Amino acid sequence: MEGGITPSAGLIATVKAKTSLPVMVMIRPRGGDFCYDDDEFEAMLHDIKLCHSLKADGVVFGVLLPDGSVDKTRVKTLVEASLPMKVTFHRAFDMVKDPFQALEDIIEIGGIQRILTSGCERSAYDGLDLLVDLSKRANGRIIIMPGAGITERNVNKIVSAMNATEVHVGAGGSKESRMEFRNPYCSMGYAITAPEYALKVTSESKLGGMIQKF
């Protein structure tokens, strides 16, 4: 699984047309690490320009250097290209060598409203101690948004521990494909079984449950 990448222009336009909620667009040209070559970085700039034209409310990105530090030069370039849209530094933060230095670097760059992080662990619950420390260190200078593995069962503890005002949740579910004929010998994904017949969706019940608790 490569994680989230930049959605298509068609999807962004469709979502914008169907909701009055702020739409934040991921700017990530590929899966894998967050150390990009020149062509990938150019693609990110083009995607940000496209987000402007589609009236996106904000963008979400992160760029690292090979040594595990924030690529301040490239991040600053992306921020400047993004304004006046809102900017979130995404979970590239969870792959940094020194999270406290990364926090200061991101604040120093300016123009970034929040950091999305799991506390450098597999889930925000596992990384809660660091999330609390990051929130204290940030001291209102930037929003620390917990994300990854947040559920109805742990959202209250996470929010209470770090006084979070925002959380990032997937609330994932699945639904069966409408396809009646299914070729058992071919898959468009990596798995032997055909994942295209179990479509990923947001679970309305899971999301609603977390909203009520939050």
Q: pLDDT tens digits for 45-89?
A: 999 999 999 999 999 999 999 999 999 999 999 999 999 999 999
CATH of domain 9-117: 3.20.20.380
Q: Is the model more confident about 204 or about 176? A: 176
pLDDT tens, position by position, 77-129: 999 999 999 999 999 999 999 999 999 999 999 999 999 999 999 999 999 99
Q: Is the pLDDT of residue 33 over 50?
A: yes
Please enumerate in sequence order all residues whose Cβ is within 8 A of that of 164, keeping only pairs 6 or more positions apart, or say none. Answer: 135, 144, 145, 146, 158
What does the pLDDT average to over 36-47?
A: 99
Q: How far apart are CA 130 and CA 117, in angstroms?
A: 10
* CA atoms of 62 and 78, how far apart (whole Å): 9
* Cβ atoms within 10 Å of 50's Cβ, excluding its own: 17
Domain residues of the chain, as ranges? 9-117
d(CA 211, CA 190): 34
Residue 139 has pLDDT above 60, yes or no: yes
Report percent pLDDT > 90 for the chain.
76
* Cα 17 to the center of its chain, rounded Å: 21
Q: How far apart are CA 102 and CA 189, in angstroms?
A: 35
- List phi, psi (to 5°) of 172: -70, 145
Using the predicted structure, report yes or no on whether residue 1 has a pLDDT greater than 50: no
Say what the pTM is.
0.90
Residue 205: pLDDT band (50, 70, 90) is: confident
* Model pLDDT, residue 213: 66
Sorted by sequence, the CB contacts under 8 Å of residue 17 that are 6+ apart come out as none
What percent of the chain is modeled with pLDDT above 70? 94
Q: Are 142 and 100 in contact (CB under 8 A)?
A: no
